[in-house]
Structures are given as C-alpha cells and as structure tokens.
Structure 1
Amino acid sequence: MRFETLSAVSLFSNCGAGDVGYAKAGFSFKVMAEIEQRRLTVALANHADASGVPGDLRFTWREAVASFRSDAGAEPPALLSACPPCQGMSTARGGRGREEDAAAGSRDGRNLLVEVIAQVANGLRPRLIVVENVAAFFSRLVLDPRNDKPVSAAVLLQDLLDLHYECYPFLTDLADYGVPQRRVRAFMTFIRRDEAAVEALALAACVPYPMPTASAEDGNWTSLKEALEQLDAAELDAASAETAHDSSTPMHSVPIWGLDHRYRMVAAIPPNSGGRAWDTAHCEAKCDVQVDADDAVCPACNEPLLRPVVQEADGSYRLVRGFRRSSYSRMRPEAPAPTITTASGHVGSDNTIHPFENRLLSPLECAHLQTIPDDFEWGTSLDDWGPTAVRAMIGEAVPPRFTEMHGRVLAELLDGRTEGLASADDRRLTKALERMQRGLPTQRLATQGQLRQ
C-alpha cells in the first residue's frame, strides 16, 4: 500500500496531542516514536493509521525509518515532526548550569537528541521537518560531539541538515495564535532545498509559519477567564474528597488538601486578584499587627502566618525556601494563563492556583488551556497511571491550535501557495536569529535567505 501525499512521521511523540493539529491540517501520521510505552499507547489511540516505535530513539531510530519504509518504499514523508525533551534546557529546571557552560549542557544527554532527528531525516528525506522546544533550545550551549566545540542544539541540528535543507527558525508566544496561555516556544521548520517552496518563500518574502491572530498590543489575547467560561466545567474545592472531583468527568479532579494550612493559605488569597500567598499579612486569627515580608509567624500570637511555611523539628516555623515571584500564586483571570507545565499538580509551582476557587486547575482544565480537543482519547491512562502522569503528558504537549494552523500553511506551501504566511521581517524570526547567534560563538550562522540578502 502506498501512503497518501501528506504522510508524516513523529519523533518524541509524547501522547500525540501536538500532532493532532498537524493531522487536522491533512498530515497522516504513519509512525509514532516515543520512549514511554504508556504515552505511546495514548498517541496511537489518537493516530489510528500509525505504527508505534517504543524505546529510546538513540537506539531505535532505525526502526522508525524501517517502519515507514516497510509500506512507503522510497517515497519520502511530507512531514517529520519532532519535539525532543526540553528538561535539560528549561529555565524551570535547577542544576542545569549556566546557559553558556557547554560542558554542563552536554552532561544531560537529552540536549543532544537533535542528532537522532538528523539521522532519521537523512534516512527518510522528508519534504518538511518541524522541531519544537523551549526558547533556550536556540542558545543553550552544548559540546558538539563531532569536535567538542560549544554550540547550541539548534545550531548543531541546522548544521547537520544544512546540505539538504533550508532552515527557518521562529520564536513565538503561542498566545499570539489564540492559545489561552503564555507559552514561549522555539520552532525550526526545515524545507528540503529541492522543493519549489524554498524559492516561493524567497519571492514572497515570507517564512513558513502562520500569521499571528492576536497580540498583547491589540489587547485580544484569549484570557483565562474566557477559556474557563468556554469550558464551563463544574466548580471544585480542594477541601474534601466530595468537593475535589466531578463524578461525571474523571479528568476534572484536583488534589485534596482538606482544611489544613495549605488550604487556608490559598483561601486567604483574594479571589480574582492574581495575588500571592507570600503577601498575606495575617495569621488565621487575623491579629491586628504589622508583619514584615520575611516573617513566618504572627508577632502577636506566634501562630504561623497564612504564608508558605514549614515547621522545623524544634517546633518553630520558617518560610519555604524557593522562588517567590510566582510560586504559591493565583492565576490572573483577565490575562492568558501562565505556561501549563508538567508541575500543574503542585501548589508550590509557578502560578498553578485557580484564579478564584480554592484549588489547582484540573487535568481537564489544563488540557483545555493547551487546546487539546475535547474528543482526545486518554483511554484508561488516568486510572492506570494516575493524574500526575496525565498532567505530565498535558504539560509537555505542543498546543494543537497552533500546530493545526502551522500544518495548514505548510500543506498549502507544498502546493505552491504562500497566502497567510508570516513576513520574513516578522519579529518572531528576528528574535529567533538573535538567540541562535548566542548559540554560535565562533561559527557562521547559515540560515534562511534573508541573512544572505
């Protein structure tokens, strides 16, 4: 059987949610490759035509190539989609070392997984390649395994593919594309040099990304309030098992806190304020005293303030050691949600508290803010692996609202059309190029045509 024109291969597929957008745009995934079998199970449930390749792609990439070739023969896929792990680059991860410390960057082998993408690309010669990661992907230095010179993973990938592919980097906040959260992400779209699309883009002075649909300047980002109203999920409260879940919707449940200090601390943050527990200036008894920013207990009654505190072995209290700018904070309803991460189930992570209810967001709400479709098949993952595993899959997904928009302009570009594409002077491109320059201390940055014009 021959594959249809827009066949696709997915690497580092996670649960397949991001690729759902490309599928809606007309790309049919024939191979999904993912290290975690349970995530792969979910991905395959949502991509019925795909074959699964489980395991570490550093050792299984040949299986991914062979799986596609077994039915397609020499026909190249239209799209190779890849979202390598970002944990080694994310600014949310401690202990990763300075961005300019290439030796520290290479200690986490995940930062060099772009080599796998190049190996699969060389084996399949896809017409298009799309790679997504965090912004640091462009500039976080690693040691080039070929010569031990410092280079970013993005520049390394560009160099590995440069002979056959034109590279178009893009750095964007996905809130500019109607995603109801702030999510700054790096994209690299590669087009095979023998494709007519390369010349078409140069003539049209465009890049292979959709034009944005919203902006902070225009004041039309989708707010958290709007997104939650659209979802219209039941009210929840972390006070008890009865109030912390919706029995009719298993994905709509939150951690149970009871009426402990954690619950009282969250309840003390005014609803819809976007406030932080660090700023609460009273104890439970609301003694009429002045407190300082570093106080953990009330000067009048010596009881803990309704702040993030821990009790020491001697019975004394101290503030939690950690990042105070955005942890233990309510989300602001009038703005897009903060970035939905794998840590959405932790009250002490960045901006995870519901804007007006006393709880965290549920997996259902997180999936909605990630624009994962309501009909996405999670199977028995919630029962089998628990909410933490499901939250991780959601947090690592690429929002399908953007990938569908991206997929549609890519499909049209392969058909010779350049309507609806972002301009070559778009600030999202220039920002990406600036960051890539930081990831290239000593070498030439050979990228899309505007640098040579």
Structure 2
Amino acid sequence: MAKKLNNIELFAGVGGLLDGFEQTGNYNLLGAVEWLKPQVRTLINRLETKYGDQNATNKILNFDIQRTDELLKGWENDDEFGTSKGLDNLVGNNSVDVISGGPPCQAYSLAGRIRDTNGMKDDYRNFLFEAYIKIVAHYRPKVIVFENVEGILSAIPTGEKIIDLIRTSFNDIDYEIINDLRQHALIDLTEYGVPQKRKRVIIVGVRKDSSAIDYQCLLRSFYNNILVSMKVSKKNTVKDALADLPPIYPLKEQVAKKAYENNSCINGHYSRFHSKRDQGIFYELANDIEIGGNKYSNADALIELYYERTGKKTNVHKYHVLRWDEPSNTIPAHLKKDGLRHIHPDPKQRRSITIREAARLQTFDDDFEFNEAMVANFEMIGNAVPPLFAYKLGEVLPIFMDLIESEEKRLD
C-alpha cells in the first residue's frame, strides 16, 4: 500500500481505536465524532501532543451522531455543541477508505441487561448503529470496522436479534460482513498481547463492487490468515503491565479524604480513597493469594466476607484481586463507581488500581494523558478499544484492502 488510507472514526470515545490506527502511520484522519466532552478534550490533547495535529480541534466533532443530517452538513449556535461546518466540510473532495467505530455497548452488554429491570430493551443505545449505517451509506468507504461487546451477538431488544438487524442493514447498502460472527469475529484480545481478559466482536465489512467475487471467502481469509498473523506467542500478564510502576502505600493516619501517599507525579497514578475497613479487606484478600491460603477462592466465601465486614447482604460477590501471573479481568467503565473488583495484587498497598494502571492494562501508552475527573477517566478507559489491538488491526487492514483490490482487478 503506497498511499495512506483516509479514515473517519465514529463513536470515537477517548480514541483507543483511533490511537492504534495513528500509531501505524497508515492512515490520514479526516474526522472523528464523539458527543461526550471529557472524551473530546482528551482526544484532542492526544492528537496535538503526540501526533502534532494542529487541526485536531476542528477534526474532532463534538456532536450527537443521531442528528445525522446536521452532523454531515453542519450546525450553528447549538446550546450544547456550539457551531461547526460539519463532516462533509472536513472530508471535502477526499474519498473515504475506512470508517471505524463502535456504538456505546452498555445496551448490549450482558452485565447491563442483568442490572436493568427491562433487560435494556428500552435503551436508545440499541439503535445507535443506525446512525453508523447512515454515515457509511453516505461516504461509501471500501472497508468498515464495527467493534462491540460479545453481548451484541445475543441482544434481542425488539424480538429480533440486534446483530441480524445490523447484518440486514449492511446488506441493504451493499456491504458484506462474515456469516458466522461468533466463530470468526469474536476476538480474545489476550491472544494479541492485551494483558486483560477481554473479548470483543470485531466486525470487518467490505463494500461489494463485483457480483463475481466471493466476499465471504475474502472475509474468511482476513480473519483466519491475515488478522491471526498478529497474535502473540505468550500472553501478557498483570506483572508485565504494572510491575514497574511505583507502589502507592496507605497513610498511617487518614486525613479527611486523603488515605494514600499519592505523590508519584505520574499522570493518573494515584489511588482513590478507601476506608480503613476496605483497606483491611483488600489486605486480607491479596495476602491470602500471596501465601497460597485460598481461603477466599470461591464466591460464597467472598459474599460471606462482605456480610461480615459491612453488615450488608449481596447475591453477587463484590471483590476480585488481580493475579500477578495472569491477564487482568476485564477493565470496565464500572471502575468509575468503585474498584472492588480490581484490587491491586500487592497486599501491602491495600488499594484498588489507579487510572494509570487501568490505562496500562488497556495498553494505553504512558504518554497518553488522562486529565479529566477520576470518574470520567475510568469511564473513557473502560469503554475504549485497547490501542495495542487497534494498532495490529490498523497494520493488517491495508493488506486486506490490497487483497480485495487484486481480486476485483483479476475478475474485472
């Protein structure tokens, strides 16, 4: 591939997917869309400081993607989103080669459906994919990337599987996606070097320009031959990701909401407040693992511990300690609420993981700055595509596009 591919990023979030693509040097970002302001500020800062993009403020459109016509043509004096000339103005006369992104996944997540009394059937986010489809239909890129959680494969908000609606919608605008998504598109990211148990559905679609081509065959080649070439031989662990960060120990005496020696001067590497009671629980759990006690190796024991220490009953165990010699459990947006399921493995530190540690487990580089409030930082990190996987995907998409082009020329 000689020239850079022109790309648009939808539902950009903090830019995990976008950052991986940028790292490859294979892409020319025409524009990105995100409606949450902390994410937009963080992404603009990243593009300016890391990649020297002085037009980042204009490229990152802070807008509601469901207002698709305004997003494309521009909007003026909006109370929330200000004024912009729109995405068409950014694209100009350029052809769009790749559109990527993942609609917010809470409505598809298994955890979200369990927590919601109506299984999230009424959640507007079930149909944000429709805006994605509209923009794909408008720009007609050769390849699309649609990322989401495993739960999208089973979500049925209206009596029909959401994934079947998505497949039909792509087919209606002449794009093909792989037939068996669970077999091919459900990716275990630990196999690509991400030190975290994280499965995601990575849908790659192709614009069908020739009736003579078996696009299913090309898609199978992408998943089974091209993408898998980026797998690692050995999975990375929590130790690989976190061991070189300086420890953060609890203070002997807490002062107001200050409970830890938060003076590392590393961006995002400070502990949230934990009470003496919770610190004691963290120590007991992490120490039990360290000495091989296995006292709390099952859910019932953890539920009982929670009741003993808090006096509250729960049906779901609240605690999980990261293991040094394994990948972490999934880093979720829920980390913005508490860190009880992401307890640091060093018993002496008696804390949950920091923003920087969550970012490390998500494979964000240390020079990727998170300067928003703690809640917003944890949310944007938990919702992101790990940049390491995005980099590997960004490396192989041009190979896939060359394969498609050669096959179309051969049969032309």
TM-score, scaled to structure 1: 0.72
| Distance (Å, rounded) in 2 between the aligned partners of 1:278 and 1:320 | 22
Q: Which amino acid aligns with 1:7?
A: N
Identity of aligned residues (%): 24
Partner residue of 2:266 out of 249, 253, 276:
249
Gaps of 5+ in 1: 99-103, 144-149, 282-291, 297-306, 312-316, 419-453
How far 1:212 sits from its partner (Å)? 5.7
Alpha-carbon contact 1:342-1:391 (below 8 Å) kept:
yes
Q: Does 1:224 find its partner at 2:243?
A: no
How far 1:294 sits from its partner (Å)? 9.3
Q: Which amino acid aligns with 1:257?
A: H
Alignment match, 2:97: 78
Give 3-state SS (helix, strand or coil) of 2:287's partner. Answer: coil
* Distance of aligned partners of 1:59 and 1:205 in 2 relative to their CA distance in 1, 3 Å threshold: closer
Gaps of 5+ in 2: 48-52, 75-85, 406-412
RMSD, aligned CA? 3.3
Q: Tell which deviates more after alignment, 267-276 or 220-229.
A: 267-276
Alpha-carbon contact 1:34-1:55 (below 8 Å) kept:
yes
Alignment match, 1:107: 122
Give 3-state SS (helix, strand or coil) of 2:99's partner. Answer: strand
Give 3-state SS (helix, strand or coil) of 1:131's partner. Answer: strand
How far 1:238 sits from its partner (Å)? 3.9
Give 3-state SS (helix, strand or coil) of 2:160's partner. Answer: strand
| Distance (Å, rounded) in 1 between the aligned partners of 2:240 and 2:267 | 23
* Distance of aligned partners of 1:9 and 1:205 in 2 relative to their CA distance in 1, 3 Å threshold: closer
Q: Tell which deviates more after alignment, 45-54 or 198-207.
A: 198-207
Q: Does 1:341 find its partner at 2:341?
A: no
| Distance (Å, rounded) in 1 between the aligned partners of 2:111 and 2:141 | 33
* Distance of aligned partners of 1:395 and 1:177 in 2 relative to their CA distance in 1, 3 Å threshold: same
Q: Does 1:54 find its partner at 2:69?
A: no
Q: Tell which deviates more after alignment, 127-136 or 86-95.
A: 86-95
Alpha-carbon contact 1:11-1:83 (below 8 Å) kept:
yes
Partner residue of 2:386 out of 399, 403, 411:
399
Give 3-state SS (helix, strand or coil) of 2:32's partner. Answer: strand
| Distance (Å, rounded) in 1 between the aligned partners of 2:177 and 2:292 | 42
Structure (1/2) with the larger helix percentage? 2
| Distance (Å, rounded) in 1 between the aligned partners of 2:381 and 2:109 | 16
Alpha-carbon contact 1:295-1:319 (below 8 Å) kept:
no
| Distance (Å, rounded) in 2 between the aligned partners of 1:322 and 1:249 | 38
Q: Which amino acid aligns with 1:28?
A: N
* Distance of aligned partners of 1:369 and 1:272 in 2 relative to their CA distance in 1, 3 Å threshold: farther
Residues 10-61 of structure 1: per-residue CA shift (max 9 Å, x gap):
1111111221111223122221111112211222223335412223211146
| Distance (Å, rounded) in 2 between the aligned partners of 1:119 and 1:171 | 24
* Distance of aligned partners of 1:293 and 1:71 in 2 relative to their CA distance in 1, 3 Å threshold: closer
Alpha-carbon contact 1:274-1:330 (below 8 Å) kept:
no
* Distance of aligned partners of 1:340 and 1:63 in 2 relative to their CA distance in 1, 3 Å threshold: same
Alignment match, 1:409: 396
Alignment match, 1:267: 283
Alignment match, 2:160: 151
* Distance of aligned partners of 1:54 and 1:348 in 2 relative to their CA distance in 1, 3 Å threshold: closer
Partner residue of 1:236 out of 242, 248, 257:
248
Alpha-carbon contact 2:260-2:271 (below 8 Å) kept:
no
Alpha-carbon contact 1:32-1:44 (below 8 Å) kept:
no
Alignment match, 2:78: none
What stretches of structure 1 move > 4 A for 4+ residues in a row? 195-201, 212-215, 274-281, 292-296, 345-349
TM-score, scaled to structure 2: 0.78
Q: Which amino acid aligns with 2:168?
A: D
Alignment match, 1:371: 363
Q: Does 1:90 find its partner at 2:104?
A: no
How far 1:9 sits from its partner (Å)? 0.9
Q: Which amino acid aligns with 1:52?
A: I
